[in-house]
Amino acid sequence: MRVWLKFLIGSVLGVTLAFLLPLDNPVIVQTTAWLGELAIRMGRYTLVPVLVFSLTIAVYELGQDGQFWKHILKTAALIVFSSVFTIVAGIMVMVFAPLSRIPIFIEEQVEVVSLHTADRILQIFPSNMFAALATDGVYLLPLCIFAFFLGLGLSYDRNYTKPVLSIVDSLSRIFYHIASFFSEILGFVLIVLSGYWAIRFRTALNAEVFNRILLTLGIFSVVFACGILPLFLYLLRPKTNPWKVLYGSLSQALAGFFSGDINFTLPVLFRHLKENLGIRRRSNAITVTLFSSFGRAGSTAVALISFMVIINSYSSLGITTQDIVSLGVSALVISFLLAGYPGNAAYTALAVICMNYGRGFEAGYLILRPVAFYLIAVGTFLDVMITSYAAYALGRIDGFQSENQNGRFI
């Protein structure tokens, strides 16, 4: 059975079971939440070794071909372009979509929300280089920097580095094989994740006041990821079939949406980009890593749309053109700084936008706390799909992609 079909069946089963369970039983809700946390940990379990060793080999191989910095610059340019485009799309929805008011709930602001950018930068370079490996699998940039320098170091002198290179390459393939096994069983894991998601979704629907924003974000994400983004692939040469790329990305789309966690989805992304879309390791390891760290514009666009709901709920005055431009620039910067928030990027971005906007809206994000899971799910879904299309486009442009027949997709 194909992996995407396992994921789909698991998701449907989880949602179905959740709609049959009683919402007023706290034991069921608490148990499902605990199982959801366990499921996320299982999905992240193989990420660190796969990322470190694959990224190390990718840096080495691209360096040997003389294409490393060229590939990095292309990826960076595509991150900026895709982020600007996605945030502009979010602003269009924010301004023109009919978003209803939500009653203001009386809640206390627990803490001042911050991206902790200065601390995150310090964490990239721990006092001991090997300390970067002692991670909980949440903040991955220290690992990426470690792999970058290790990959560069392997280019020093082949007489000395060849034994280590063989070991690193072997470890990369071994852990990729282990991660592939876990991706095969994630269909069962998605039963839990989709069930937990659906329980919270039922609660949000029962409140009724959130229905408009749920519908708006759902339509926006589907149209953008399955309609607008594929159109860009028509610009590629040689000509490609964008719907084939969409079909090859179904597994990571489901994993990203129901987990709401980019780190959970990365092992699935690595495998499906390689085995479905034919992207070689040296290309997709670099592109996926950079996009998952700095290309979180999907989550930020969701935060922008949600912010308009908050504006409508607090005031009938709306926002000026100058405010829209300021919000767009702020959102663009925030989208580059969400590497430390793999599982709650959209809601964190919304909180930071509220804090930056000020004018009494600092705690505005709290009125959307009941649907924070949905904002995160849609934002992660968009981030994953943007990453899939970008990795395919760059791999094809740089000659690191080979076509696979649909019948050979996993």
Q: Cis peptide leading into 242, omega within 30 of 0?
A: no
pLDDT score, position 106: 53
pLDDT in tens, 183-220: 889 989 999 999 999 999 998 988 888 888 999 999 99
The share of the chain scoring above pLDDT 70, in percent, equals 97
Q: Name 77's Cβ contacts closer than 8 Å, sequence gap at least 6.
A: none
pLDDT score, position 377: 96
pLDDT exceeds 80 at position 99? no
Please give the average per-residue pLDDT across 163-169, as a whole number: 92
On the 0-12 / 13-18 / 19+ scale of CB atoms within 10 A, 26 is exposed
DSSP-derived 3-state class of residue 316: coil
pLDDT in tens, 266-317: 999 999 999 998 899 999 999 999 999 999 999 999 999 999 888 887 766 6
On the 0-12 / 13-18 / 19+ scale of CB atoms within 10 A, 158 is exposed
Give the Cα separation of 193 and 94 in Å (integer): 29
Please give the average per-residue pLDDT across 347-358, as a whole number: 90
pLDDT exceeds 60 at position 12? yes
pLDDT exceeds 80 at position 223? yes
Please give the average per-residue pLDDT across 120-126, as a whole number: 88
Domains of the chain: 3-408 (1.10.3860.10)
Residue 239 pLDDT level (bands cut at 50, 70, 90): confident
Give the Cα separation of 398 and 125 in Å (integer): 31
pLDDT exceeds 90 at position 16? yes
pLDDT score, position 110: 52
pLDDT exceeds 80 at position 322? yes
Name which of 101-110, 183-192, 229-238, 369-378 the model is least confident about: 101-110
pLDDT score, position 159: 80
Please give the average per-residue pLDDT across 148-163, as a whole number: 86
Tell me the torsion sign for CA atoms 201, 206, 210, 214.
Answer: positive
pLDDT exceeds 60 at position 262? yes
Name which of 102-106, 185-189, 226-230, 406-410 the model is least confident about: 102-106
Please give the average per-residue pLDDT across 176-188, as a whole number: 91
Please give the average per-residue pLDDT across 345-360, as a whole number: 88
pLDDT exceeds 60 at position 352? yes
pLDDT score, position 104: 67
Give the Cα separation of 110 and 121 in Å (integer): 25
Q: Which residues pair with 401 in a beta bridge?
A: 279
Give the Cα separation of 87 and 297 in Å (integer): 6
pLDDT score, position 404: 79
pLDDT in tens, 385-406: 999 999 999 999 888 988 877 7
Q: Distances from the Cα of 65 to the Cαs of 166, 281, 290, in angstroms?
A: 18, 14, 20
Give the Cα separation of 353 and 237 in Å (integer): 39
Query: What mean pLDDT is reported for the chain?
Result: 89
Contact 392, 279 (CB under 8 A): yes
